[in-house]
């Protein structure tokens, strides 16, 4: 029997979503870039919401906002709590002109777990940490998932030292919001005490919606690799520079973009695996209507569920760049910006989540993620899993992005039942029958 969330729960979720979404650039909704005034204000509100739910808040050395529900002093069998913990969370930053649910839904669903435990006076034998991971979205420093990378010991001094166009150093920005940048090359010190890292996220595709399922149990998160591509030609007067003599960097860049698109399409078809490649950010210099472009800087985002597909792409990409140098008489330089290898999810947690969906009367299927998430980095040092909920028409990273309050509530049921099972309690439905 299908069960609907209580009106009080959906109203609470709606109010929280609306409040976080209100922290946006007024003329560009929904824009809440990491370290922006809008982000800072949203963080302050979220810290208050954590405290109102009885959580003890702090910002860790990597700039993650964490609200902790401390374990009961004794376990059910009388033994003293041993310092183990479960993490649930997502992120509240957005891409420029993004959506209202990407990341936010996962943080609010995590809070719903706490509300259920509080309302039913349930004590856990482990600490429960609700986390807003810092800077999950790709930023002007060329690296996504800042907070989860830090926990995994992957936020290197080179990344922390990067400076944006406004002169802001990444490491200094993390310090400004309360981080310390300490231990950036070390995995979180209590990693061996973490029982599970859980996340809820909108699917950002339409498999669940099309097939009519409530929950997606993610099997793996693809490898994500980003490269900076610099194309240098020679600027010149657009009216007097003969076509045959031009070293037009933008034309050369266009050749590379088209070749990448064809190559990625061929690999995705031949490998029958999830593989995509995108040039989504381009800067043209001098960027004048009457000037032949002399330089182009762009970013390649490549995602692959297959190591073989990745290798095949990079080999062919090298040839594409070399051919462009010869044909367009422009220099092409490629530099790696960030990398995250394929991240399989923990099989035991996947089964736990599947059982949790079933006991709550929810339909669930297994599927692979096409997008990257903080959970990928967390899986490097602790058992980790992520669930998806449907989003309308599969739209994401745009203002039209939408997930229903009911879908978020159902995802929170699954997370809650999973936490109760991890606490050694029999699987139980948290939905109101």
Is position 2 within any domain?
A: no
Integer CA distances (angstroms), 326 to 110, 258, 322, 349, in order: 54, 17, 7, 52
* Helices 307-328 and 249-271: angle between axes, nearest 10 degrees: 150
Say if residue 166 is in the same domain as residue 47: yes
Q: Assess if residue 430 is contained within a domain.
A: no
Does the pLDDT of residue 74 top 80, yes or no? no
Same domain, yes or no: 227 and 217: no
Q: Answer yes or no: do 142 and 277 share one domain.
A: no
Max CA pair span of the chain: 86
In a domain? residue 428? no
Residues 284 and 400 in one domain: no
What CATH number corresponds to the domain at position 313? 3.30.70.360
For residue 428, what pLDDT is reported? 78
| Digit-coded pLDDT (tens) for 99-125 | 999 999 999 999 999 999 999 999 999
Residue 75 has pLDDT above 90, yes or no: no
Residues 307 and 366 in one domain: no
Is residue 148 within 8 A of residue 136, CB to CB? The reply is yes
CA distance 350 to 360: 16
Q: Are residues 38 and 175 in the same domain?
A: yes
* Residue where a domain terminates, one of 340, 369, 398: 340
At residue 336, what are phi and psi to the nearest 5 degrees?
-65, 140
Does 433 reside within a domain?
no
Answer whether residue 81 shows pLDDT above 90: no
Residue 1 belongs to a domain: no
Using the 3D structure, point to which of 311, 340, 369 is the last residue of a domain. 340
- Mean residue pLDDT of the chain comes to 94
CATH code of the domain covering residue 206: 3.40.630.10
Residues 191 and 245 in one domain: no
CB atoms within 10 A of CB 14: 14
Q: Characterise 283 by phi-psi region: left (phi > 0), alpha (psi -120 to 50), beta (else).
A: beta
The total number of structural domains in the chain stands at 2
- Tell me: pLDDT of 181 over 90: no
- Whether 184 shows a pLDDT value over 80: the answer reads no
**Is the pLDDT confidence value at 361 over 80?**
yes
The secondary structure of 252-289 as a DSSP string is HHHHHHHHHHHHHHHHHHHH-S-EEEEEEEEEEES--T
Closest to 90 measured CA to CA, from 401, 390, 375 = 375
pLDDT of residue 433: 45
pLDDT for 34 equals: 98
Please, which pLDDT band fits residue 183 given cuts at 50, 70 and 90? low
Tell me: pLDDT of 258 over 80. Answer: yes
Q: Look at 145-149, 301-305, 392-396, 408-412 and tell me which has the smallest mean pLDDT.
A: 301-305
Q: How far is CA 227 from CA 141, 303, 314, 326, 331, in A?
A: 12, 12, 11, 21, 16
Whether residue 432 is contained in a domain is answered as: no
Q: Same domain, yes or no, for 97 and 199?
A: yes
Range of the domain at 86: 7-221+343-422
Residue 25, Ramachandran bin (φ over 0: left; ψ between -120 and 50: alpha; else beta) = beta
Same domain for 356 and 368, yes or no, is yes
Tokens standing for 22? 């209100």
Is a pLDDT exceeding 90 seen at residue 84? yes
At a CB cut-off of 8 Å and minimum separation 6, what does 287 contact? Answer: 293
Q: Three-class SS of residue 133?
A: coil
pLDDT at 338: 82
Can you give the pLDDT at residue 78? Answer: 57
Q: Is residue 307 very low, low, confident or very high in pLDDT (cuts 50, 70, 90)?
A: confident
End-to-end, the C-alpha distance of the chain in Å comes to 9
52 and 154 in one domain?
A: yes
Could you say which of 305, 320, 340 is where a domain stops? 340
Q: What is the pLDDT of residue 331?
A: 98
pLDDT digits (tens, 9 = 90+) for 185-225: 789 999 999 999 999 999 999 999 999 999 999 999 999 99
Residue 431 lies in a domain: no
Is residue 236 in a domain?
A: yes
Interval 264-289: pLDDT, tens? 999 999 877 789 999 999 999 999 99
- State residue 240 phi and psi, 5-degree precision: -115, -10
Out of 168-172, 265-269, 357-361, 429-433, pick the least confident. 429-433
On whether both 247 and 104 belong to a single domain, the answer is no
Per-residue pLDDT of 373-402, as tens digits, reads 999 999 999 999 999 999 999 999 999 999
Q: What is the pLDDT of residue 77?
A: 54
What does the pLDDT read at residue 355? 97
Give the pLDDT of residue 79.
Answer: 58
What are 185-195's pLDDT values in tens digits? 789 999 999 99
Are residue 17 and residue 136 in the same domain, yes or no? yes
């Amino acid at each position: 029997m299908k069960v609907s969330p209580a009106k009080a729960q959906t109203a609470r979720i709606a109010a929280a979503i609306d409040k976080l979404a209100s922290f946006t650039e007024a003329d560009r909704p929904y824009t809440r870039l990491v370290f922006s005034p809008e982000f800072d204000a949203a963080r302050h509100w979220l810290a208050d919401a954590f405290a109102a739910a009885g959580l003890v808040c702090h910002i860790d050395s990597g700039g993650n906002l964490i609200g902790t529900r401390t374990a009961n002093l004794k376990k059910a069998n009388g033994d003293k709590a041993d310092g183990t913990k479960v993490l649930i969370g997502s992120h509240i930053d957005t891409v420029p002109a993004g959506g209202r649910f990407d990341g936010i839904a996962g943080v609010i669903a995590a809070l719903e777990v706490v509300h259920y435990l509080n309302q039913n006076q349930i004590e856990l034998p482990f600490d429960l940490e609700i986390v807003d991971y810092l800077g999950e979205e790709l930023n002007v420093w060329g690296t996504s998932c800042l907070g989860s990378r830090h926990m995994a010991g992957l936020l290197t001094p080179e990344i922390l030292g990067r400076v944006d166009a406004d002169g802001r150093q990444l490491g200094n920005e993390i310090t400004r919001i309360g981080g310390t940048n300490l231990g950036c090359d070390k995995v979180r010190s209590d990693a061996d005490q973490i029982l599970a890292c859980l996340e809820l996220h909108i699917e950002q595709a339409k498999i669940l919606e099309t097939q009519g399922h409530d929950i997606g149990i993610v099997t793996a998160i693809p490898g994500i690799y980003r490269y900076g591509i610099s194309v240098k030609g020679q600027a010149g007067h657009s009216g007097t520079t003969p076509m045959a003599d031009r070293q037009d960097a933008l034309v050369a860049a266009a050749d590379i973009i088209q070749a990448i698109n064809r190559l990625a399409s061929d690999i995705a078809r031949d490998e029958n695996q999830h593989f995509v490649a995108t040039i989504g950010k381009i800067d043209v210099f001098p960027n004048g209507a009457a000037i032949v472009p002399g330089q182009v800087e762009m970013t390649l985002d490549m995602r692959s569920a297959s190591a073989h597909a990745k290798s095949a792409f990079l080999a062919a990409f090298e040839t594409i760049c070399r051919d462009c140098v010869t044909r367009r008489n422009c220099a092409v330089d490629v530099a790696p910006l960030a990398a995250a290898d394929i991240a399989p999810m923990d099989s035991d947690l996947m089964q736990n989540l599947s059982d949790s969906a079933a006991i709550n009367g929810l339909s669930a299927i297994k599927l692979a993620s096409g997008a990257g998430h903080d959970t990928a980095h967390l899986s490097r040092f602790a058992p980790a899993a992520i669930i998806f909920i449907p989003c309308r028409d599969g739209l994401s990273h745009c203002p039209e992005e939408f997930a229903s309050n009911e879908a978020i509530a159902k995802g929170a049921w699954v997370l809650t039942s999973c936490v109760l099972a991890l606490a050694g309690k029999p699987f139980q439905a948290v939905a109101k029958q």
